[in-house]
Chain A
């Protein structure tokens, strides 16, 4: 299997866990998507550094794009890359975050450290 295939499969698998196995239904939660909207730019930046510097290198036969070039930077956009990283990394990262939050919510529902005891932000007067 290629990275592309595994990445798509992982999103489907974690979605199935969210919607049917754990029934956490985060995919239909505005809170989840808002949280993901925070994580995504951070992921694009840190992953961009890792892939743009060639720290992590990909085989063209495993991804939509080509091999990570040896001496030059991969494309910022294009050839299956977004901010230097293979698009597959977006699916990988999405699965990682969704699976984490599914489990986080599952344990919260079971009463483990479930009371939020939080807010308001420090810059808001109590």
Chain B
């Protein structure tokens, strides 16, 4: 029974290792949910279509003992969650690098001077 949560556990692991990064690096990811809800749906849609085609054509399949068995049509729920979790990790990584590059609020932002204490 425990092994049916394997795929789900991998996704949870990805999320858990990514979730604290925005807090640690002070990068806004979750706070920018408006941008996320516009970014994710087309990605999820496109890859779900690919997944459905591939499953139908027999490119890949899933070991029933390693997935929960919950499906949306022919597609395991875990796959759809994969298309949500991995992009979020990508955005977090991208914003983390961007924040490191700017080392704080960019100068162009009106908040720059007051927030970082520098005079510009």
* A contacts, CB < 8 Å to B: 1-3, 6, 10, 31-32, 34-36, 38-39, 42-43, 46, 49-50, 53-59, 61-63, 93, 96-97, 99-101, 103-104, 107-108, 112-123, 126
Q: Which residues of A contact B19 (CB under 8 A)?
A: none
Complex CA distance for A50 and B78, rounded to whole angstroms: 11
* B contacts, CB < 8 Å to A: 6-7, 10-11, 13-14, 17, 23-28, 31-35, 38-40, 42-43, 46-47, 50, 53-54, 57-63, 66-67, 83, 86-87, 89-91, 93-106, 109, 111, 116-117
* Contact (Cβ within 8 A) A93 B86: yes
* Contact (Cβ within 8 A) B26 A104: no
Q: Which residues of A contact B32 (CB under 8 A)?
A: 113
Complex CA distance for A116 and B7, rounded to whole angstroms: 33
* Contact (Cβ within 8 A) B7 A39: no
Complex CA distance for A42 and B9, rounded to whole angstroms: 14
* Contact (Cβ within 8 A) B99 A58: no
* Contact (Cβ within 8 A) A99 B59: no
Tell me how many residue pairs across A and B have CB atoms closer than 8 Å.
170
* Contact (Cβ within 8 A) A55 B63: yes
Complex CA distance for A96 and B101, rounded to whole angstroms: 24
Q: Which residues of A contact B31 (CB under 8 A)?
A: 113, 117
* Contact (Cβ within 8 A) B101 A56: no
* Contact (Cβ within 8 A) B28 A121: no
* Contact (Cβ within 8 A) A119 B60: no
B17, B47, B57, B104: the one within 8 Å of A42 (CB) = B17
Complex CA distance for A126 and B115, rounded to whole angstroms: 10
Can you offer 7 A-B residue contacts whose CB atoms are under 8 A? A6-B53, A42-B89, A57-B60, A103-B43, A113-B34, A118-B28, A118-B105
* Contact (Cβ within 8 A) B42 A122: no
Q: Which residues of B contact A54 (CB under 8 A)?
A: 63, 66
Complex CA distance for A30 and B53, rounded to whole angstroms: 34
Complex CA distance for A33 and B87, rounded to whole angstroms: 15
Q: Which residues of B contact A96 (CB under 8 A)?
A: 43, 47, 83, 86-87, 90
